[in-house]
Structure 1
Amino acid sequence: MRAVFVGRFQPFHKGHLNAIKYILKKQKGGIFIVIGSIERFLERDNPFFFKERKEMVLRALRESKIKNFKIFGLPDFFDDKIWASKVLAVTGLKPLDTLVFSRDPWTMKSFEKIGVRVKPQPFFFNKLSATLVRKKICRQEKWEHLLPKSVSVYLKEIRAGQRLKFLAVPPEKRIVGFIREKIKEAGAKGGIVGVSGGVDSAVAAVLAKQALGNRCRFLSINFDRGSLAENISLLNKKLGGRIKILSLRSPYDCLLRRFPPGNKTARGNLKSRLIMATLYYFANFYNLLVIGTTNRSEEEVGYFTKFGDGAVDIEPISHLYKTDVLEMAKRLGVPEEIIRTKPSAGFWQGQTDEKELGVSYEQLDKILRLLVQGFKEEEISFLTDISKKKVRDVIQRKKKNTHKLLPPARIQYVN
């Protein structure tokens, strides 16, 4: 019988260590430690990367001279049976040969559903939690005694205190402060946001309004009155009726009549660049900065138009993955209809982001979050149950579109 102990270890503390010691006394065959939520990092409740958490566990166990263990990592699955089955797949264990130690009700129920025995371990250190440790570090209270010495040393090495203090500030508040700071630095009178009816521009617009109030302008630029007109109307109410609507259908058609016939990508990108030119016209006229609406998921894979929606002065949400933007939209009170709308640039009939990308945003974000932590194609596919082809396509798209994130290439003179 093999023992399994699952945790996020954000960070690893003495309660975790004593639980492992207890389990090893009960189960002589060693312990399989599974680090969960490996795709989560740089968040208030999940501040540490997988490799950092793994290093904490390794240092603590070596310090205690514990040798009979193996460490694994696993991302989240939003299905309890699938998640529990994946724990077995990652560890190579069978249900009848596994004993899971946990006090978490969801974890216990998940394993019981697939026929795995679960046993609660005792509480240690008066129900010590990682949440309490993080709070104490943020408040600059005494916390070192709650962690194995090697772990407290490691947290100081990676400057965990600064990170936790930064992450303790609500992300919306950080973005509002960022927008105000950049407008002030530029000596601009305010900002302008192009709103499409999608969730990204809605979030950027709401945050810009919080930051700048009446000093922010909102422009909805369209080429036909399409299916997102109702979303624009809902957002307009949220923003206090401040959205101006402008159609570029006539100049767009005029240009197409004068240009050689182009494919749908060329025509779609032309729309994006016309929107950019229009936003900058008003930005110049009123002395404003253009506020972008690109999220991190789109930016990393280059899913934007170069010198189109990628041409802005500041990018307030480009550090947020698409799934983060959706969560923020709920907190900001963005209308549910906008949140539920399938993401689309709307440049041609039937276009959707996920259809073009070949993966859902939930899948894309998992892939990107693991790639940035150094996981390889095969590892990501195995850990997430996303096909190798889809993972490979995302990697290739990132490589192909790297040029979009770089300044123009120039000849370098030798001094």
Structure 2
Amino acid sequence: MKTEKVINHIVNWLKDYATQAGVKGFVVGVSGGIDSAVTSTLCAKTGLEVLCLEMPIHQAPSQVSRALHHIDWMKTQYPNVQMTQVNLTQVFDSLIAALPSVDNEEDRFMSLANTRARLRMTSLYYFAALQGLLVAGTGNKVEDFGVGFYTKYGDGGVDLSPIADLMKSEVYTLAKFMGINEDIIKAAPTDGLWGDDRTDEDQIGASYDELEWAMRFVESESNPNPLDERQKQVLDIYNRMHQANKHKMVAIPVCEIPLDLKN
């Protein structure tokens, strides 16, 4: 990959899009992970206004410290970067208290995890509207179009996606080239939605390198080499997740009414 040219291409694309949209810049949720670090840095390179939001909800201290460390680093490199902290823990807890109880709390864990992402999306759009900014998405290609590993109308609710055509490995390549903090590069990827230390790999059952292989395998027209047992397992994980999450990747279905029923 021609890393520097890819970076320049994304930066120019971001700047052109914002200029045509008539906005001042971008707002990015910074989580302490590699994707948000790379996205926020690319936005900062445009020279336009960049607002970084750090939005903990019962967050692990290591995630918070990585996010703040990255934002501090960016502010020393780019004078157009600002930061706001919005602690959503109390908001989240209040919402839980207002919701009806269920017989088995385990049943609503996934729903509550996705609720965290949607509270963050709401906060991002609050500041976007307030300051004339676009919400920049942080999803990469294997997450957004491979396994659908994101929350619909949560981290999937964005105005534009600067790194959604990059595999996870390519995001790491950009991160190293741009000088992203080593603690972020070395940290195990996590969506940070559970209030514990579970990683993306723990949830998915496969690493991003394996998922990238599966995505390329599915997209290729042929593969003459026989698959080993692990490859078969990974391919099954990929296909199951892709099918289950396909509703996130396609346009919202619209019930079209036949003209003879409307006339």
Question: Which band: TM-score by shorter chain?
Answer: 0.7 to 0.9
AA paired with 1:196?
A: S
How much does 1:229 deviate? 2.0
Partner of 1:323: 169
Partner of 2:79: none
**1:356 counterpart SS class:** helix
Alpha-carbon distance change, 181 to 326 in structure 1, aligned in 2, over 3 angstroms: same
CA deviation map 1:120-176 (0-9, x unaligned): xxxxxxxxxxxxxxxxxxxxxxxxxxxxxxxxxxxxxxxxxxxxxxxx971100110
Partner of 1:333: 179
Partner of 1:260: 100
Alignment of 1:171-320 (within 5 A): 171-213=6-48, 215-226=49-60, 227-240=62-75, 242-261=82-101, 263-299=108-144, 300-320=146-166
Deviation beyond 4 Å, 4+ runs, structure 1:
none
Alignment of 1:6-405 (within 5 A): 43-44=1-2, 170-213=5-48, 215-226=49-60, 227-240=62-75, 242-261=82-101, 263-299=108-144, 300-348=146-194, 349-375=196-222, 381-382=227-228, 386-405=230-249
Q: How far apart, CA to CA, are the structure 2 residues paired with 1:397 and 1:346?
A: 19
Q: How far apart, CA to CA, are the structure 1 residues paired with 2:205 and 2:132?
A: 40
How much does 1:392 deviate? 1.1
How much does 1:245 deviate? 1.5
**2:97 counterpart SS class:** helix
Q: How far apart, CA to CA, are the structure 2 residues paired with 1:346 and 1:204?
A: 17
How much does 1:305 deviate? 0.1
Identity of aligned residues (%): 30
AA paired with 1:392?
A: D
Q: How far apart, CA to CA, are the structure 2 residues paired with 1:265 and 1:380?
A: 36
1:370 touches 1:380 (CA, 8 Å); kept in 2? no
Q: How far apart, CA to CA, are the structure 2 residues paired with 1:240 and 1:318?
A: 25
Larger radius of gyration: 1
1:380 touches 1:391 (CA, 8 Å); kept in 2? no
Q: How far apart, CA to CA, are the structure 2 residues paired with 1:268 and 1:368?
A: 26
How much does 1:375 deviate? 4.1
2:35 touches 2:140 (CA, 8 Å); kept in 1? yes
AA paired with 1:260?
A: P
1:224 touches 1:247 (CA, 8 Å); kept in 2? no
CA deviation map 1:45-95 (0-9, x unaligned): xxxxxxxxxxxxxxxxxxxxxxxxxxxxxxxxxxxxxxxxxxxxxxxxxxx
**2:27 counterpart SS class:** strand
How much does 1:294 deviate? 0.2
Give unmatched runs, 5+ long, in structure 1: 1-42, 45-167
CA RMSD of aligned residues (A): 1.9
Q: How far apart, CA to CA, are the structure 1 residues paired with 2:156 and 2:59?
A: 24
Alpha-carbon distance change, 224 to 298 in structure 1, aligned in 2, over 3 angstroms: same
Q: How far apart, CA to CA, are the structure 2 residues paired with 1:411 and 1:179?
A: 34
Alpha-carbon distance change, 178 to 414 in structure 1, aligned in 2, over 3 angstroms: same
How much does 1:240 deviate? 0.9
TM-score normalised according to structure 1 size: 0.57
**1:254 counterpart SS class:** helix
AA paired with 1:267?
A: L
